[in-house]
Amino acid sequence: MNSCVINKTKSLFGLILLTLSLSPILESHPWGGLVIDRDGNIYFTFICPIDDDNNHYACVWKITPNNEMDHVLKARRSPSDIILSRNIDREIFAAERSGQSPNHNNTLWKIDTPTNRALIPATSGQTQFHIQSISVSKAQEIYFSKDSDVFFRDSLNQTTKLNTPDFERINLTAWGPDQELYIMSGDDIYIYDGSDYKLLASDLKKRNPEDIPFSGANIFFDMVVDESKNVYLAYYGNREVIKISPDGSAGTILKSERPWSPHGIDIYNGEVYVLESTIGDGKWWRFWEEDPGIIPRVRKISTDGTVSTIYSFKPH
């Protein structure tokens, strides 16, 4: 297998996409993140279909070889979040947060067959494990963030807070090819080599994006680093995928046409896979079958630049 990415984190933070205008106090809810395993199976976070307006659950969905959908992990409580991550061997990890603030329970799962395994049992100790962003190494050592801090949890489950610059909120992390940790603080990206932090790119977020999906949605949802140290960002707030070269220069490689917006990204065999979704017109959280206006799709940018749709949900 020609794997072009060392490790990446799939994250989503601080956003109820359909209810921003309804409440000034927001809980985090899942709407982003895509990873691909060693066999080319695609996993992404989304909402499980629901039957009422009062319960909604984060799920990890898998696109099977016959292009069917199946959920491989469902959050145990509502409200809930799930962040996806994978390591160099493309093992899949899912960090689940459930319940109401400030009593969130955080659990780290390894997505496995036939049964998922809890690597970190549910804990409310946010300095022991928190799912704002995570990156998992080949040795299953874990880096996670809380607010503007980065924590390291070793194989003995000992947690250490790293010394960091004056960071803003850390929303995304991803491994680079030389085991550097790429950290997105605010809209700046830093590279951490184990001792020093180097600024790669800054001010990546547009202050008034022309193509924002709706007010308050100016966010980055996902990040991945390839073997040539190019960084790819799913910029939901301007409906685009941004590529940042090792010299810090940035450019758009994909625009999502309305009503689609990107919120997940991975690279497999040199090709870029992008998770996008629409914004439906249904009430509250009636997803997919309940509101066919809210659907996911996955597109691929081939090595020759060709863009194709490889999956699009079709309501029954």
Instruction: Give per-residue pLDDT as tens, 59-68.
Output: 899 987 777 7
50-72 burial, b at 16+ Cβ within 10 Å, e below that, comes to beeeeebbbbbbbbeeeeeeeeb
Residue 24 has pLDDT above 60, yes or no: no
Per-residue pLDDT tens over the stretch 188-231: 999 999 999 999 999 999 999 999 988 888 999 999 999 999 99
Dihedral, CA of residue 116, residue 94, residue 44 and residue 201, to nearest 10: -160
CA-to-CA distance for 127 and 149, rounded, in angstroms?
A: 10
Kindly list the domain boundaries of the chain, sorted by start residue. 7-312
* 179-200 as b/e: b if 16+ CB within 10 A: ebbbbbbbbbbbbbeeeebeeb
Coil, strand or helix at 22:
coil
Collapse the DSSP code of 236 into the 3-class scheme (helix H, G, I; strand E, B; otherwise coil) and give the result.
Answer: helix
Q: What is the dihedral of CA 47, 49, 53, 58, to 10 degrees?
A: -30
Amino acid at 271: E
* pLDDT at 159 exceeding the cut of 70: yes
**What whole-number distance in Å separates Cα of residue 221 and Cα of residue 261?**
10
Is the pLDDT at 170 greater than 60? The verdict is yes
CATH 2.120.10.30 fits 7-312, yes or no: yes
